[in-house]
Amino acid sequence: MTICASCGREFEALSDEQSLCPHCSAEALGATPPDVIPNAAPNVILNTAPSRLRQLFESPTTILIALNTLVYLIMAFQSHSFLNFNLKLLLDWGANSGPLTSGGQWWRLLTSTFEHGGLLHIALNMWCLYNLGWLAELLFGRSRFTLLYLLCGIGGSLASICWRVNSVSVGASGAIFGIAGALIPAMLLHSNQQLRVLLKGQLTSIALFVFYNLAFGAAIRGTDNAAHVGGLITGMLLGAGFPTGPERNTATGRRRALLATLVIAVALVGVGAYARHRNQPYIEIEMAADAHAHGDNSAAIIHAQRAIALNPNDPHSQFMLGTLLLGVQRNADSAKAFAATIRMRPNFGPAYVNLCMAQREMKLLKEALGNCERGTQLLPNQPEPWFNLGRVRYELHNLSGARDALAKSVSLNPEGFDENLQYALMLIANGETKEALPYLHKAHDLHPQDEDLTRLLTQAQPR
């Protein structure tokens, strides 16, 4: 039995060259299909086409659309939003991330292809999958179409983390571009000349789809064109390798499909190794963050130093190293890392704030003052820069300036223990003990077990 290259039904071919069943051959020639011709030739086995409903439920295209939609709906329910999802939710559900994926979580290459960032994203992708999937199923068969979809999705994900290192991406577009890419050589190289002619219009439409979407992706910021190109190339190679004519289910056809799959699999492994190399600095940063979260600061510092050795011009790595060093009171080394961060990102407020803290610990108060003031300019609505500015001004004997800065920090974080305590101490030092009492009470309420604070509060009470 032979599988029809158009509708996928089984039929008994009269020759090795016949790839369309009698029904589809008649339709292609504009004739009446043989299953409605009276007294059809006895040597033609007629097949009743499966119902539309059965085709729908058995189609991998339908199943893939259903899976993508199900994931989207569960994520929407979890996030209480149908329009857009935040980064944490996407990562929790398996988004493709350069350092996480290439750092060992390779399953993200596939899970990310079933995630979408929001309603418009999934709507456009599922519309394209619906239109391209049916034709690909007919040409390649259901099992090979499914394999094609998955491999192209992985190929797109790998291209994404190779091209856009330290990035996060989701969506089925890599797999969809792969389907489009596979259809191009499949239609151009199909052994049935008659079918090639019939598919010429479809071929033109698919080529235009690829061209316009790549151009659109290049023009719109945030579009992962790397995944599109990766999926497209993977699909074109598989489309050229997978048989689509009468040989599709022959031993030769199966060997050809197996060889194409193995070649692509080996290529994807090689691309994965390159992706790990490209993302290695960011893998080290992730390992540093993980070690710090588990309380192993020594290991965290080592990983951050490795990240800088691999990519010394990355401000994120420099800032993390500085923060880790500041936490273990290696103030001079941390100051160097923060200074390097500022050279690369002159308007990065947290680097100025932390540099101010390191310099204050080293008693470099004049240098610390300038960096604290710059921190408040860049982060005017955060309490930490004002808090540190107040402490530096106090140590420089600028009491009124310190009072203003600490008052600002308390107003931005009225529930902060350090802010309330330091402002109260500032007021007491300035002779304003009565005004300090509410802030001492607030600090005591936040830390009632602090004996020194209890003693201070008792002493400050009016007699």
Tell whether 63 is covered by a domain. yes
461 Ramachandran zone, left/alpha/beta (phi>0; psi -120 to 50): beta
Q: What is the pLDDT of residue 109?
A: 97
CATH of residue 249: 1.20.1540.10
**Do 184 and 70 share a domain, yes or no?**
yes
**Do 104 and 187 share a domain, yes or no?**
yes
- Nearest CA to 241 out of 153, 174, 152 is that of 152
**Do 58 and 162 share a domain, yes or no?**
yes
Q: What is the pLDDT of residue 266?
A: 97
Band of the pLDDT at 40, cuts 50, 70, 90?
very low
Q: What is the pLDDT of residue 453?
A: 85
Q: Catalytic residue, from 97, 160, 173, 317: name it.
A: 173
Tell whether 166 is covered by a domain. yes
**Do 222 and 74 share a domain, yes or no?**
yes
Question: Rounded to 5 degrees, what are φ and ψ at 317?
Answer: -65, -45
Question: Rounded to 5 degrees, what are φ and ψ at 139?
Answer: -80, -40
Q: What is the mean pLDDT of residues 396-425?
A: 92
Tell whether 71 is covered by a domain. yes
Q: How many domains does the chain have?
A: 2
- Nearest CA to 290 out of 303, 309, 277 is that of 303
Tell whether 361 is covered by a domain. no
**Do 127 and 231 share a domain, yes or no?**
yes
Tell whether 253 is covered by a domain. yes
Amino acid (one-letter) located at 456: L
Q: What is the pLDDT of residue 205?
A: 81
**Do 18 and 130 share a domain, yes or no?**
no
Q: Decide which of 208, 243, 278 is a domain's last residue.
A: 278
Six-digit token string for 1? 């039995």
Tell whether 323 is covered by a domain. no
**Do 131 and 178 share a domain, yes or no?**
yes
**Do 251 and 170 share a domain, yes or no?**
yes
Q: Residue 35 pLDDT more than 50?
A: no
Per the annotation, the verdict on 173 as an active-site residue is yes
The residue range of the domain holding 17 is: 2-36
**Do 59 and 20 share a domain, yes or no?**
no
**Do 162 and 227 share a domain, yes or no?**
yes
Q: Decide which of 278, 296, 322 is a domain's last residue.
A: 278
Q: Which residue has the tokens 């402002």?
A: 423
Q: Decide which of 232, 254, 278 is a domain's last residue.
A: 278
Within 8 A by CB and 6+ apart from 377, the residues are: none
**Do 133 and 273 share a domain, yes or no?**
yes
% of residues, the chain, pLDDT over 90: 62
Task: Supply the pTM of this predicted model.
Answer: 0.76
Within 8 A by CB and 6+ apart from 65, the residues are: 126, 129, 130, 133
**Do 125 and 174 share a domain, yes or no?**
yes
Q: Catalytic residue, from 116, 190, 228, 303: name it.
A: 228
Q: What is the pLDDT of residue 333?
A: 96
**Residues 45-93: pLDDT tens digits?**
444 455 666 666 778 999 999 999 999 999 999 998 888 999 999 999 9
Six-digit token string for 379? 């982060």
Tell whether 136 is covered by a domain. yes
Q: What is the maximal distance between C-alpha atoms in the chain?
A: 118
Per the annotation, the verdict on 228 as an active-site residue is yes
